[in-house]
Amino acid sequence: MNIENLAWEKMNGLIPAIVQDSLDGRVLMLGYMNPDALELTLETGKVAFWSRSRQKLWIKGETSGNTLNLVDIHPDCDSDSLLVRARQEGPTCHLGKDSCYDDDEEGKVMPDIAFLAQLECVISQRSDDRPEGSYTTRLLDDGIKRIAQKVGEEGVETALAAVAGDDKELLNESADLLYHLFVLLCARKLEVGSLIEVLRSRHS
């Protein structure tokens, strides 16, 4: 990306930067970048902004530790705004929420399909922490063969529910199948993103 080709003149040297979670697609925050902030972001891999209130350059999380790790940046068609895809280290919002657009009463604002990314994160955390009493912990402790067996069982049960014509049961069994498949991928140290790449390659 050529920094000089962006339309800096439209907002007196600033460009709005929408930060999106690269895993689940949620909008995390809106900030403003000047050329120095964009250059610093590209150099360090940590998302930086220009503070309009303090009139200074700042790296998100430089004091709190809640950084945004850059994945990629895309200018829009008019080159006057940026879509910044990043991975969070801790909550993005200064109120302690993952996203500045999350609502305490309504919960997280995300596309429905993004819940799968959240599920993957929960399973990964269970794998790291191994909390007692967790079904996921028990599955992981049982090992690959047992998890694979459960995936097979849930696959058969999903197929039987489909043949029986029971939509509610089909949805329940499909949910069980997806969950156990995610645990299996986690146990093999594979990410759902890698699975998505395989699907993308087949689609193209």
For the segment 127-152, the average pLDDT, to the nearest whole number, is: 97
| Residue 144, pLDDT score | 97
Q: What angle do CA 138, 142, 148 make, to 5 degrees?
A: 110
Residue 46 has pLDDT above 60, yes or no: yes
Looking at the domain 3-88, which fold is it?
A: Ubiquitin-like (UB roll) (3.10.20)
CA distances in angstroms from 106 to 29, 103, 183, listed in the order given: 18, 5, 28
Q: For the chain, give every domain's residue range.
A: 3-88, 112-203
Residue 107 has pLDDT above 70, yes or no: no
Taking the C-alpha atoms of residue 94 and residue 77, their distance in angstroms, rounded to an integer, is 31
How many other CB atoms are found less than 10 A from the CB of residue 1? 12
Residue 111 has pLDDT above 80, yes or no: no
Per-residue pLDDT of 55-102, as tens digits, reads: 999 999 999 999 999 999 999 999 999 999 999 999 999 888 889 988
Confidence of residue 204 (pLDDT cuts 50, 70, 90): confident
Confidence of residue 124 (pLDDT cuts 50, 70, 90): very high
In sequence order, the β-bridge partners of residue 19 are 29, 84
CATH dotted code for 112-203: 1.10.287.1080
